Structure 1
């Protein structure tokens, strides 16, 4: 049974590179994966949070979109197990965007999100075309998402209330 819900999207910006670089545990690594992995990662991480936008489109469209060389997809790993993923978007002329960021459901709460996010933020700043890094989140995402983004230095710049059908 589906129902309509109201949710709030918050747009956030960071206009100064953070000085702090957090270390990931020594037993983790970050690797880039191909666009053919995007939908699987998107479903796994986003399933609990109603990430459905890309699921309504043809898989080939998502793969083509994320095959762009300026939209790399990274996965945080430990012992061959995926812990989280992010998509960095450098297509914009006025900065860079953290298009997706999230932890696998069984990795939530292990203290890896903050250092992985810090790593992603520094990657964005390394390639940003202007002094601006953006991200958005919504009230359907993990309850810690907005506070974590703010703790890492992002500042809310706008909100938008929306409605959608969810299962």
Structure 2
């Protein structure tokens, strides 16, 4: 019989670009760049490496074709933080209906957590989310940026979201089967 966990999921939002409280740049050795060429392999690397120890499993079973189809959707963008040339984390933006943008995934690889990179990456990703609607025909502006986090995410995730200006608009709890932490590769 599998163990169950009590999982809390919070949905957070911003409804104006003025809500964003920027974090400081953590140093000139850190930069954030858009991954302009969609790469299923790179996206899967980021997803598995960032989420491996915090139970991200929903995309692990996707085929390369499914990854490619997702990345090819209009408006989907991936922004990557680099520390001295090494990928440190990423934010994936997913535009939705009516000028709404979801920060679908956001996080840092374990070795880069606690170094102020996350606040800066979230600042860059959120600012870009506010600018995304200008790329959609017939839309003048983004009306809302939102994301969700849960009790299995990193211990500073919620604090970072709140410090950047996000507000909780929904809290849900559920009991669910405990899943293993797959790590970035089998047995990690």
- Same-fold status (TM-score > 0.5): yes
Indicate yes or no: 2:149 matched with 1:137: yes
| Contact 2:75–2:132, Cα closer than 8 Å, also in 1 | no
The whole-number CA distance in structure 1 between the counterparts of 2:154 and 2:104 is 16
Q: Partners of 2:71 and 2:5 in 1: how far apart? A: 29
The corresponding residue for 1:28 is 30
Structure 2 residue aligned with 1:165: 178
TM value normalised by structure 2: 0.80
- What is the aligned counterpart of 2:168 among 151, 156, 161? 156
Judged with a 3 Å threshold, the aligned counterparts in structure 2 of structure 1 residues 141 and 20 are, in CA distance, closer, same or farther, namely closer
Tell me how many residue pairs correspond in the alignment: 167
- TM-superposed deviation, 1:152: 1.0
Runs of 4+ in 1 over 3 A off after TM superposition: 18-23
TM-score (normalised: structure 1): 0.89
| CA distance in structure 2 between the partners assigned to 1:77 and 1:102 by the alignment | 13
Greater mean deviation of Cα atoms: 102-111 or 50-59: 50-59
8 Å CA contact 2:11, 2:146 repeated in 1:
yes
Match of 2:106 in 1: 101
Q: Which runs of 5+ in 1 are unaligned?
A: none
CA contact (8 A) 1:35 1:67 kept: no
> 2:93 maps to what in 1?
88
Looking at structure 2, the residues matched to 71 and 123 of structure 1 have their Cα atoms a distance apart, in angstroms, of 11
- State the SS of the aligned residue for 2:81: strand
**8 Å CA contact retained: 1:32, 1:74:** yes
> CA RMSD, aligned part only?
1.9
Matched, 1:13 2:8: no
Aligned counterparts of 1:23 and 1:126: Cα–Cα separation in 2? 20
Q: Which runs of 5+ in 2 are unaligned?
A: 134-140, 181-188
